Amino acid sequence: LAVIKIDAQDLKAATFGDSDLLNVGDWVLALGNALALKGGPTVTLGIVSARGRTVKTESAEDLYDMIQTDAAINDGNSGGPLVSLNGEVIGINTAILRQAQGIGFTVSSNVARPIIDSLIEHGRVVRPLIGLEGRDVTPALASRYDLRVNEGIIVTLMTRDGPAYRGGIRPGDIILKLDETPTPDMAKFLTLLWSYKVGDEVAVEYITDDETRMTNVELIERMAQ
């Protein structure tokens, strides 16, 4: 995402909506400069096909909490808005599956807004760091390793000087909640984590050695990579 300041007046700006209010089946419009065709932007119509999708990009990075839509998205649509029938921006078009038809993905407005606000306020993206990586606990994983729970985040990697490690969390532990809010998967965990500010103290509920524990973790700033 980029934020551009335009030296002009009386411009009508788009309004961001609350993507958490979206339901599967809601109608949406995708706007963008599809395929760079002459004649101006392209508008396509579709529905919200799913929410909370995790998409792995060609660079092997995971995009979390994505909105899936069957509104046609093509090269050139990226960065364009996904708009509700109320005219509110509820997503930013981001990715497609080239081997599929009618499957496009957008970053939800509630994920994009903090990034945009941070770019305006700081000139860069300021995000909190907890100092760990993890993967979803699934029923299959729980059965294979005889885990106590079927949902949560199992810690796979962490930094020894990071906030989570200083709070007593270790690889193999399972994070269940942040400040009493359940974290059933990485999408929910990261969306919730990024809603905090640098310096906030977060109460983490986790399982270690088959015992449920609580610890307080003070978030630090995630440095740009």
Written as one letter, the residue type at 144 is R
37 pLDDT higher than 80: no
CB 82 within 8 A of CB 68: no
For 134-180, write each residue's pLDDT tens digit.
999 999 989 988 888 999 999 999 999 899 999 999 999 999 999 99
Residues with Cβ < 8 Å from 162, sequence gap 6 or more?
A: 129, 130, 131, 132, 220
Question: What whole-number distance in Å separates Cα of residue 132 and Cα of residue 155?
Answer: 7
- Evaluated on CA atoms 124, 126, 132, 133, the torsion sign reads negative
Residues with Cβ < 8 Å from 222, sequence gap 6 or more?
A: 126, 127, 128, 129
* Angle at CA of residue 162, ends 161 and 165, nearest 5°: 90
Question: What whole-number distance in Å separates Cα of residue 59 and Cα of residue 52?
Answer: 20
For 46-73, write each residue's pLDDT tens digit.
999 999 888 876 665 678 788 999 988 8
Entry field: residues in the chain: 225
Cα distances (angstroms) measured from residue 123 to each of 49, 93, 177, 219: 34, 23, 32, 21
Q: What's residue 25's pLDDT?
A: 96
Question: What whole-number distance in Å separates Cα of residue 50 and Cα of residue 48?
Answer: 6
Question: What whole-number distance in Å separates Cα of residue 70 and Cα of residue 166?
Answer: 45
Q: What's residue 224's pLDDT?
A: 62
- Evaluated on CA atoms 102, 23, 108, 117, the torsion sign reads positive
